[in-house]
Structures are given as C-alpha cells and as structure tokens.
Amino acid sequence: MRVIVIGGGIAGTAAALGLHKAGFDVSVYEAHPDGAEDIGAFLTLASNGMRALAALGASAAVTAIGYPLTTLRVLDSSGIEAAHAPLGESGDPLLRYRCLRRGELNAALQAEVARRGISIRHGARLASVEEGHAAVTAHFTGGGTATGDLLVGADGLRSTVRRLIAPGVEPRHAGERVFYGYATRPVPAGAPETITMVRGSAAAFGCTASPTGETYWFARVAGEPASADEIAKSTPARWRELLVELLRKDAGPAAGIVAATGERIMVTGATEMPLGTPWRSGRALIVGDAAHAASPATGQGASMALEDAVVLAKAVRDTPDTGSALALYETLRRPRVEYNITASGRISRGAAAPPGSGRGKPARRPGDDELIRLLAWNADIRTTSAHGGGGG
C-alpha cells in the first residue's frame, strides 16, 4: 500500500511514522519550503499525546526538546491558590506533559520521519486530488503528481483536502483571542515543571518558567477575531499595553509577566471545526486540525493529532481494505475529538468547565477508558472497536 500524506505538521509527520511502522510505503508532501508553517507559539503535549508518541516509537525525538510539566497550580482572580495537583501521568518520564515550541516539535518530528527513511518533500503544495477506481492522485501547484492507494490530508486548519471532501465547510471563530508570549526579564512565574493557570476576571492566563529562564505565557480573552487590518496596524507594544490593562484588574502574576515581555507577543483567534464535518471520500481522509481543530482552551489539538496517527495506522494495518479501515478509524475517533471541540469551545465562550473537571482534573472524555488499549501498538484494533471507542 502506498500512502500519500499531505502536510508535514504534527498530524502529518505522526501519521507517516505510524503508517511506516505498520509496514506501508509512505511519502509526505509539505507546502512550506523549509520546515513547516510555524506561528511561533508554544504548546503542551498532554499525557495522552505522549502515550501516542510512545506507541509510534518517537518519544526520544520529543523528550530531547522542550521541558516537562508535572504540576498544575490554579489561582483565582485574587491570586489565591484554588488547586495544586500533579499533572497527568507525572510519574512517568515518557508520559508526563511536555511544553514545546510548535516549530521545534514540527522540526523534531520531521527529522524523525527523515531518520526512518520516509520521503518528505518540502515546497510541495497540494492543489487538487483526483480519485480513480484503483488509486488516488495528488496534483501539486507548479506541476508534479503523486499516486497512491490512500491519501491522508494532514494539511491543517485551512486544509485543501477538506475543501475537496467537504466543500463549503470552514472553521469558525470560537469566541476568543489568544495571546502568546515569552518574557525574558525575570518574573515570578512559579516553580520549575509547574504550569500556573489564573482564572482572571478578564482573561484566562497560563504561564510556565522554562529551564532557560524565559517565562512562556498565554492569555485567552473573549472577543471577535482581530481583523487583518488590526493585526497589520498593531505592534507587540500595543498588544502588551492592551493586555496589561486587562490583567491589572486581578491580583497574581499575569500583568507583571506580560509587562516583562518584549517584542515576542503574538495574537491569534481561537477557531474550531463544525461538528459533523465530513472526513473522508473514497481513498482520501483528513486528520488532525484539518478534520477536528478545536479552540486551544483544553490544549489538546496536538495530542489528538498524535492519537489520530496511531489509530489510523492500526486501523489500516488490522483491517482487510482501505474502506473498512477508514470507516473504523472514524467510528473510533469522532466521538472523542468532537467531545474535545465542544468542551474546548464551551470554555472559550466562557461557559463553566465540564462536569467532573473540578480541582484541575480533566473531565473524563469518550474513549478515555479504552485509550491505553487503543494506543497499544501490538493490540489488534478490532478488539477495541468491539467497545465502540466510547464510554468514559
């Protein structure tokens, strides 16, 4: 089986690692000429994402970069500690949360793809897909084609593959702006390996102190997306000023950390895919953000993309044909990732956290009870599907 993967981001590289590990002939096509598109923000990989990486045999590539997070601290708007708890599977060095720059993670996964001898072509932007009876062909801008038995669209939020599978279905704004920054002046950002979340009155704020002395922070603020004009006219200093004004309303470290940030402030809108977005057509399937982008509130986008990779590879490996593999993949993945879209969107729009998520503990999600078995590389995926992938 020849597999064409469109997109060399987190979902695409991970899918390539999984499908290659399962014994298939995989090639990755990435539009960006060098690495992958990088908006410069950081992200956290949660324990479920780290478990998926372990199943792909790619833990070492990722634990070599970034830094671990083992403790969650929650402060209320008066700066009082409302929760202090171990984060995820903090006792296991391979499964504990990890904080990484998105560009670094992409680069590490791309290097791992290349190290395993999987072909990755940069500067190859998909233009269209042609479905034949026995094969699928990708056409790239500026000429060039690739033909395979399966095409995996891992081309992110503005996916071209999705536009071909589900014309007219587009991501929508999830109710808030997200600011990211790196403070380099010393600020009290909490103990090492700790992520501090502040439930502020005007913003949800989070920060961690990196081992190199920087403070990584984000702030989620309710509102419409910044227009292209606003972004073009604004400077980091202007964003900083706006944010500090909002954060000053509360006690706690947030305003001081943002004030100690220089030019490295970014803003983006929270976006999500509508529920029920079609994911597949014939021999083409979308994964990762292309299929199920969620607002960043639950911090699960990258981890879900890594889970996708393991489930897809196992589904293709353990079923007799592509059609049944893609159908099984969708049955197993849709309840879980759509729950994440809904839960994350609710938080972004200011609703209370889902039931069961008190004291910093995440709510049980569909598929949580089955996850260890689902991601275990040697367990036949059909034995998991007997339980429908739901529950929990």
Ligand X SMILES: Cc1cc2nc3c(=O)[nH]c(=O)nc-3n(C[C@H](O)[C@H](O)[C@H](O)COP(=O)(O)OP(=O)(O)OC[C@H]3O[C@@H](n4cnc5c(N)ncnc54)[C@H](O)[C@@H]3O)c2cc1C
Q: Which residues bind ligand X (CB under 6 A)?
A: 6-12, 29-32, 36-37, 41, 43-44, 102, 125-126, 154-157, 160, 178, 180, 268, 288-290, 296, 299-303, 305
Collapsing DSSP to helix, strand or coil, 163 comes out as helix
Let me know: does 292 contact 301? Beta carbons within 8 Å.
Answer: no
267 phi-psi bin (left φ>0, alpha ψ -120 to 50, beta other): beta
Distance in Å, CB of 32 to ligand X, minimum = 4
Q: Which residue's CB is nearer to ligand X, number 51 or number 102?
A: 102
Q: Which residue's CB is nearer to ligand X, number 288 or number 360?
A: 288
Q: Which residue's CB is nearer to ligand X, number 5 or number 183?
A: 5
Q: Which residue's CB is nearer to ligand X, number 300 or number 319?
A: 300
Q: Which residue's CB is nearer to ligand X, number 26 or number 305?
A: 305
Q: Scanning the structure block, which residue is given the tokens 């600011």?
A: 179
Let me know: does 282 contact 349? Beta carbons within 8 Å.
Answer: no
Distance in angstroms (rounded) separating the CA atoms of residues 242 and 255: 11
Distance in Å, CB of 23 to ligand X, minimum = 23
Collapsing DSSP to helix, strand or coil, 253 comes out as coil
Distance in Å, CB of 231 to ligand X, minimum = 14
Q: Which residue's CB is nearer to ligand X, number 248 or number 354?
A: 354
Q: Which residue's CB is nearer to ligand X, number 319 or number 340?
A: 340
Distance in Å, CB of 373 to ligand X, minimum = 22
Distance in Å, CB of 321 to ligand X, minimum = 26
Q: Which residue's CB is nearer to ligand X, number 155 or number 338?
A: 155
Q: How far is CA 349 from the centre of its chain?
A: 19
Distance in Å, CB of 136 to ligand X, minimum = 15
Q: How far is CA 92 from the centre of its chain?
A: 21
Let me know: does 313 contact 22? Beta carbons within 8 Å.
Answer: yes
Torsion of CA 301, 45, 368, 380, to 10 degrees: 90
Let me know: does 206 contact 178? Beta carbons within 8 Å.
Answer: no
Let me know: does 288 contact 9? Beta carbons within 8 Å.
Answer: yes
Distance in Å, CB of 46 to ligand X, minimum = 7
Distance in Å, CB of 347 to ligand X, minimum = 13
Q: Which contiguous run of DSSP H or E holds residue 347?
A: helix 322-348
Task: Spell out the residues 6+ positions from residue 268 whose beta carbon is closer than 8 angstroms to its own.
Answer: 39, 41, 177, 178, 180
User: CA angle 149-22-305, nearest 5°?
Assistant: 85
User: CA angle 90-95-97, nearest 5°?
Assistant: 65
Give the residue from 148, 128, 160, 150 showing the smallest Cα distance to 7: 160
Distance in Å, CB of 310 to ligand X, minimum = 15
Collapsing DSSP to helix, strand or coil, 356 comes out as coil
Q: Scanning the structure block, which residue is given the tokens 């096509």?
A: 29
Distance in Å, CB of 180 to ligand X, minimum = 6
Q: Which residue's CB is nearer to ligand X, number 53 or number 319?
A: 53
| Neighbour-count burial of 343, counting CB atoms closer than 10 A to its CB (0-12 exposed, 13-18 middle, 19+ buried) | buried
Tally of CB atoms within 10 A around 224: 11
Q: Which residue's CB is nearer to ligand X, number 24 or number 216?
A: 216
